[in-house]
A and B are shown apart, each in its own frame.
Chain A
Amino acid sequence: MAAKENNKMTIIATKGTFDWAFPPFIIASTGVAMDKEVTIFFTFYGLNLLLKDTSKLRVSPIGNPSMPMKMPFGPKWLQKIDFGPKLPNLFWQIPGTEWLATYLMKKTMAKHGVAKMEELREMCQEFDVKFIACEMTVELFGFDKADFIDGVEFAGAAMYFDEAASGDHHLYM
């Protein structure tokens, strides 16, 4: 189909936890699949989503009271229990619990046929989603550019505006 006018979409991705890695890549990949031209501007903690090694991304149940926590395996009665409201924040300060919560979320996602974050990211790149990493925050946090995946452009806020100028669909995540 011929390119439509105003078919540009931009996303500002600011969060770097395992759970929040998904929305930008889901929306961006779906956007390009639906003939949008998509740019994601990664800034602050969102830069973590561009790392080659994403194994350190975690979901934190601390200060995350709406996060349902159900077991992805085990007997049915156990899987029905929502541990989220039952466990005090204090519990999640025990070393290893954040790793556990991340592990269980990954298991739950796999069980539900949700794509892996890396798979969505690869699809975005295959569909030509433009990834821009905020140069200022790359420097600020001491990221090494060699640690980022290929195909990332490094630029500033002005380039974001240049990308956003021709569209009317802009999301902050």
Chain B
Amino acid sequence: MADETLDASGLNCPLPILKTKKALSKMDAGKILDVISTDAGSVKDIEAFCNQTGNKLISTTEDGGKYIFTIEKV
């Protein structure tokens, strides 16, 4: 279960990444953040973001144009 949820629906690049960064910066290490996005580009972007920042992308799920990313903060 996620500790926090960020709804970035309707927002376009780069806002989902910026909001994810902000949300994670307020969380403690080891906590889980769910990010909801409707931007198809965020699939690759969240992956790249996690690659670069070291945060762990636990899962990506898609449900009718809505993407849910589960990220563990390092």
Contact = CB atoms under 8 A, between A and B. Distances in A.
Contacts, number: 41
Interface residues of B, number: 17
A35 interface: yes
A113 B14 contact: no
A115 interface: yes
Interface in B5-53: 10-15, 17-18, 20-21, 39, 48-49, 52-53
A114 interface: yes
A26 interface: yes
Interface of B: 10-15, 17-18, 20-21, 39, 48-49, 52-54, 74
**7 cross-chain pairs, A with B, having the tightest CB-CB distances, nearest first:** A33-B21, A113-B12, A34-B52, A30-B14, A1-B54, A113-B11, A113-B10
B12 A112 contact: yes
